Amino acid sequence: MTHALPFDNSYARLPERFYARQSAEKVAEPRLIAVNERLAERLGLDAGLLTRPEWLQVFAGNAVPEGAEPLAQAYAGHQFGGWVPQLGDGRALLLGEVVAPDGARFDIQLKGSGPTPFSRRGDGRAATGPVIREYVVSEAMAALGVPTTRALAAVATGQPVWREMPEPGAVLTRVAASHIRVGTFQYFAARSDVEALGLLTEHVIARHYPGADGPLGLLDGVVAAQARLIARWMSLGFIHGVMNTDNMAVSGETIDYGPCAYMDGYDPKKVFSSIDQHGRYAYGNQPQVALWNLAQFASCLIPLMGEEAAAIEEATASINRFADIYQAEWLRLFGQKIGIEAAGEADAGLIHGLLNVMAAQGADFTRTFRGLADDRAQDEFADRAPFEDWAKGWQARLARESGAEARMRDANPAVIPRNHRVEEAIQAARKGDYAPFQRLNRILASPCDLAADDADYARAPLEDEVVRRTFCGT
């Protein structure tokens, strides 16, 4: 068949209490919005073939590719700190696992493909806005070198979905190393299903951490992966917005781009989610939230780790290593952002000093760091004096470095998916105009190299363009 893929569906071979087998709900008038050629190449697929009518039907959920075994995964989770014993894929279907030419495995998932047994009275559909947002931001993250789920295709369904008002519907084809979450482990731990926890642990080790020695080795691997991931988010001014345990992938990838956003003006307390009333998932809280989530993950593994008291002690020691791993990665990344090749603890004060000056005046996060390389950072401050005082110590430190300017250009993007540009693309897409979406994707594919014709995409938003809240949901 023309839509055959090299599937090997290891998750579907787990016991059926791990998922619900399910078909997508068909749509009448699908229309292709985009196919990701770069990602298709990574998967060993011909992007030209993916634009053919038969693949449009696959991406819309109207056809099942040969070898796929569609299913909705079961999981639970803490949402804004509140326990929900059953969540699961309420609007997504895992088609299966594609084996790339180099042997790497990738989940292929349809998001917005209709209701499942986990939908909890929802329609299982996605509106165009969230699909556009996830496509744009996840691909921007990939271009910036951040571990992330990715977008292979987006399709307009030709059918409305009902939220506060009717909106055009869409389906996203999402690719990930896997879609297994902390909440997947919590689902079985809450049911005291030790057998399932053991099978899930073995599956994740084989797929993501083949060198791990049992449950404790898995915990060590996930702790390290998450510490490095969150440090990377922080270095880019990224706010996930909804760091529930069901939105933390054990693979160490960024997953579930709901009310996500990149900061414009720097503020450690910045929140974009329209439902995060107390700032639980604010920018500056993300490391602590990740640690809390990892503690929930560790508690799920305790029954697999032998004598309980010893297991708790070992798991606690593993969790406590998060801080050191995170700090080392944070220091490395922010050191490079200010031109230091191998920043040490003595440089932490210099980095915090700049962040404090930025916070005091709400200086643009991305433009300030990018401006360090071309002597324009001072332009981001209404009162330049505090920055210029900081810069004296910084310049003295750079005197001991070589290649600092090139290092800063590589570490600091010129362009990010700014909220007003994403909203511009969303509003146009709702009217059937995908040109702003396509241009934005093209520009974000090379975030450190901005053509002169695209320079306007690097500017901060004007006052009437500022986006202060993003919607949490689809």
User: Closest Cα to residue 364, out of 276, 467, 460?
Assistant: 460
Catalytic residue among 220, 246, 264, 364: 246
Instruction: Specify whether the CB–CB gap between 55 and 36 falls below 8 A.
Output: no
Q: Which helix (H) or strand (E) holds 94?
A: strand 92-99
Rounded to an integer, what distance in angstroms lies between the CA atom of residue 77 and that of residue 259? 18
Judge contact between 86 and 186, C-beta under 8 A.
Answer: no
- Mapped onto helix, strand or coil, the DSSP state of residue 107 is strand
User: Strand 166-176 to strand 126-127: parallel, antiparallel, or no bridges (unpaired)?
Assistant: antiparallel
Contact predicate 229/177, CB 8 Å: no
DSSP code per residue over 332-368: HHHHHHTT-SS--HHHHHHHHHHHHHHHHHT-BHHHH
| Interatomic CA distance for residues 176 and 106, integer angstroms | 5
Query: Is 449 known to be catalytic?
Result: no
Closest listed residue to residue 67, CA positions, set 22, 98, 105, 101: 98
List residues with catalytic annotation: 246
